[in-house]
Chain A
Amino acid sequence: MRNLLIFVLGSVALIALPYGLSFSQQEILVFLVINILLVTSYRLMTLTGEWSLGHVVIMGVGAYASALYTKELGIYVPVSMILGGVTAALLAVLLSFPLFRMKGFYFLIGSFAAGEIIRLIWKRFREPFGGVRGISGIDPMPDFSIGIYQFDFFEPVSYYYFAGVIVIASLWVLWRIEKSPVGLTFHAVHWQDKLAQASGVNLRAYRTLAFAIASGFAGLAGALQAHYVGTVNPNSFDIEVMVFVLTWAIVGGTATFYGPILGCIVLTVLNEIVLREMGLEQARPLIYGAIMILSILFLPDGLESLVQKVTRRRSAPKPEEKAAT
């Protein structure tokens, strides 16, 4: 009953949210929703203990793929978005062959190199990737109506609802995966790969699985972004964006599902509302770097540890009550 109430109130708040915002803030809201999917998919990857620097490029793969499917092949936009995600996942499976010969720090560098190669391919080949300028004039999501609401995708509010539904569905799938025996195996691979292997876990297969799922959802996030913005180019998926994703994940904390989401929301609000008001948005990398250092120094477990402290304090007396009765 209480959960139902929270669910209803939460949905109403999410639906009502854009009406309290200005037009530019509504646009930011759309990007925020897409970035939440990006950073949550990144967390699934980190569950197996491997941190990648190519995640944003993989997102770009989804964006490029979806854009090209609609432009060159004329595929219906929502279908091409899903195909974009599938393409990103398949590419991840291919990349896993060279990349998973490495672990830890070497994997980090290897994934960065792989990402740069993909970006150079986009830059080098005018056909079909459009070179440095990328692809513009990507088909927008076609308008449609569901009776009570008319979706007009030049309005950020409409796109917010559309992306919101897709992102929530994706988050639900990612949540289910993490809470399943598959998710437990990811954790096992992270903490003691040798013991996991001795228990019959195929390490290669599970690392690849996590990489492919994370890449698939990152690709979907990329596709959502491409059809909203209308253009993709190699520079919108460069290492600077990757550093933002890392900052969200690290500042939020990766021990819980909601940690990276929290980091993404808090830092986006800070960046877009506070910094923009102060006219400091050019200094974003500088301030993000400072926040990252400060959070590592003073909040090593991330923002999620603050939430955990509050919830634990509230639930702490309960076991004593149980013991007493």
Chain B
Amino acid sequence: MTDFLEVRNLTMRFGGLTAVDSLSFKVEHGSIHGLIGPNGAGKTTTFNMISGFYTPTEGQILLRGEDISGLKMHEVARRGVVRTFQHSTLFAELTVLENALVGTHMPFRPNIFAAIIGWDKEDRRGAEARAREALDFFGLLHLAEERAGDLSHGHQRALGMAVAYASHPDVILLDEPFTGMNPEETKHMMGLMRRLKEDGITILLVEHDMQAIMGLCDTITCMSFGKFLAEGGPTEIRNHPAVIEAYLGGARHVA
């Protein structure tokens, strides 16, 4: 398999603090890749660099061999890497359908002149169909006319993913998608992610919910204090001494 998304020697320094230190890993096409680590390990920073929110101090992010590090967020998004946000970051004042319509910005690029004359009817119809499809996928279609800010927490998280899904991404970066979900919702969401994977979408996720991570991911990269710690399948990671040490703190000495 070709290297689809590759992070090479990625480093981020905030003043004297090295948040991410020479991190390298590869994400295979069509896989669900988990990024874990104790609090403050630099997972979200890594995420922000891949999505273009931060510019890395050093290192490269390669998408299909093309260096995308240092590009702006919308430029990264236009190459097919779309992210969601940690908290329920939504257009709270807009309706659920309008939220999803913003997600269709890339496949149905608005044109102002066509919009004034009224020649974009087909695009608008297409965009709405795509938005409804994305909402339906995440089970939100019956809420289409609600204000996004009025939704329950679980629905808001799902909507955040629907907005990302509406843009036909190749890679979805999910930042803690299961936070604040009850076990039932988590299970449902895991099912949806497996379906996304079947659609050929590569998923990279940061998550604290170990059960979800272990049940979902094909490959897991564990980091600690900004450094690469271990990589492997769920069972491998679960039994990896360095990972156990990082989470429990000096387990080897205790034993």
- A residues near B, CB below 8 A? 173, 176-177, 180-182, 184-185, 187-188, 191-192, 194-203, 209, 213
Type the 1/0 row for B71-103, where 1 means its CB is closer than 8 Å to any CB of A: 011100110001111000111111000100111
Closest 8 CB pairs of A and B: A180-B115, A181-B110, A200-B106, A200-B77, A197-B73, A188-B102, A191-B91, A182-B110
- A198 close to B77 (CB less than 8 A): yes
Which residue of chain A lies nearest to B83 when distances are taken between CB atoms in the complex? A198
Task: Report whether B105 and A194 are in contact in the complex, using a CB–CB cutoff of 8 Å.
Answer: no
The answer to whether A180 touches B116 (Cβ under 8 A) is yes
The docked-state distance in angstroms from the alpha carbon of A187 to that of B51 is: 22
A307 to B89, CA, bound (A): 31
In contact, B74 and A184 (Cβ under 8 angstroms): no
CA distance in complex: A198, B111 (Å): 19
The yes or no answer to B163 lying at the interface (CB within 8 A) is yes
A236 to chain B, nearest CB (A): 31
Q: Which of A173, A185, A194 contacts B110 (CB 8 A)?
A: A185
CB-contact partner of A188 in B85, B91, B112, under 8 A: B91
**Interface size class, chain B:** 35 or more
- The reply to whether B91 and A192 contact each other, CB–CB distance below 8 Å, is yes
Does B112 contact A182, Cβ atoms closer than 8 Å?
yes
Q: Which residues of B contact A182 (CB under 8 A)?
A: 110-112, 115
8 pairs, A vs B, C-beta closer than 8 Å: A176-B116, A181-B120, A184-B101, A185-B110, A195-B91, A199-B103, A199-B163, A200-B77
Residue from A192, A194, A199, A202 in contact with B53 in the complex, judged by beta carbons closer than 8 Å: A194
B74:A202 contact, CB within 8 angstroms: yes
Interface residue from B85, B110, B115 paired with A195 (Cβ < 8 Å): B85
* Chain B contacts for A173, CB-based, 8 A: 116
A177 to B85 CA separation, bound complex (whole angstroms): 29
Decide if A197 touches B89 in the complex (CB within 8 Å): no
For residue A198, which residue of chain B has the nearest CB? B83
Nearest CB of B to A192, in Å: 5
- The 8 A CB mask of B100-144 against A (1 = contact, 0 = none) is 011101101011100110101001100100000000000000000
Min CB gap B236→A, angstroms: 32
Q: How far is the CA of A192 from the CA of B103 in the complex (A)?
A: 12
Residues of chain A contacted by B110 (CB below 8 angstroms):
180-182, 184-185
B interface residues with partner A (beta carbon < 8 Å):
51, 53, 72-74, 77-78, 82-85, 89-94, 98, 101-103, 105-106, 108, 110-112, 115-116, 118, 120, 123-124, 127, 163-164, 167
Contact, CB under 8 Å: A200 / B112: no
For A176, the closest partner residue in chain B by CB is B116
Known: A176-B116, A187-B98, A200-B82. 10 other contacts (CB 8 A): A181-B115, A181-B123, A181-B127, A184-B102, A184-B110, A194-B85, A197-B74, A198-B82, A200-B167, A201-B105
B102 pairs with A201, CB closer than 8 A: yes
Interchain CB contact (< 8 A) of A200 among B105, B111, B124: B105
When C-beta atoms are compared, the residue in chain A nearest to B73 turns out to be: A197
CB neighbours (8 Å) of B77 from chain A are 197-200
In the complex, which of the residues B77, B83, B112, B120 has the most CB atoms of chain A within 10 Å of its own CB atom?
B112
Find chain A residues with CB under 8 A from B94 CB. 184, 187-188, 191
Give the shortest distance, in Å, between A178 (CB) and chain B (any CB).
Answer: 10
Which among A184, A194, A209 is the interface contact of B98 at CB below 8 angstroms?
A184
- Interface contact B74-A201, CB-CB below 8 Å: yes
Residues of A within 8 A of B108 (CB): 181
Q: Which residues of A contact B111 (CB under 8 A)?
A: 182
Q: Considering the chains assembled together, what is the distance between the CA atoms of A192 and B99 in angstroms?
A: 11
* A201: chain B residues within 8 A (beta carbon): 74, 102, 105
Determine the distance from Cα of A104 to Cα of B86 in the docked complex, in whole angstroms: 24
Please give the distance in Å from B214's CB to the nearest CB on chain A. 28
Give which listed residue, B83, B90, B123, contacts A192 with CB less than 8 A.
B90
Residue of B82, B89, B115, B120 with highest tally of chain A CB at under 10 A: B115
Q: How far is the CA of A187 from the CA of B74 in the complex (A)?
A: 17
Complex Cα spacing A182 to B77, Å: 18
| Contact across chains for B91 and A187 when beta carbons are under 8 A apart | yes
Contacts of A213 in B (CB 8 A): 112
Interchain CB contact under 8 A, A191 and B92: yes
Instruction: Tell me the complex Cα distance, A180–B114, Å.
Output: 10
Q: Which of A181, A194, A202, A209 contacts B101 (CB 8 A)?
A: A181
Inter-chain contacts of A176 with B (CB < 8 A): 115-116, 118
Interface pair B90/A195, CB less than 8 Å apart: yes
User: Which listed residue, A180, A199, A203, A209, touches B82 by the CB 8 Å rule?
Assistant: A199
Q: Determine the chain A residues whose CB is within 8 A of the CB of B74 once the complex forms.
A: 197-203
Task: Select B112's contact among A194, A197, A202, A209, beta carbons within 8 Å.
Answer: A209
Task: Give every chain A residue within 8 A of B85 (Cβ-Cβ).
Answer: 194-195, 198
Whole-angstrom distance between the alpha carbons of A173 and B53 in the complex? 35
User: Contacts of A188 on B, CB cut-off 8 Å?
Assistant: 91, 94, 102, 105
Chain A residues in 8 Å Cβ range of B72: 197
The docked-state distance in angstroms from the alpha carbon of A203 to that of B73 is: 10
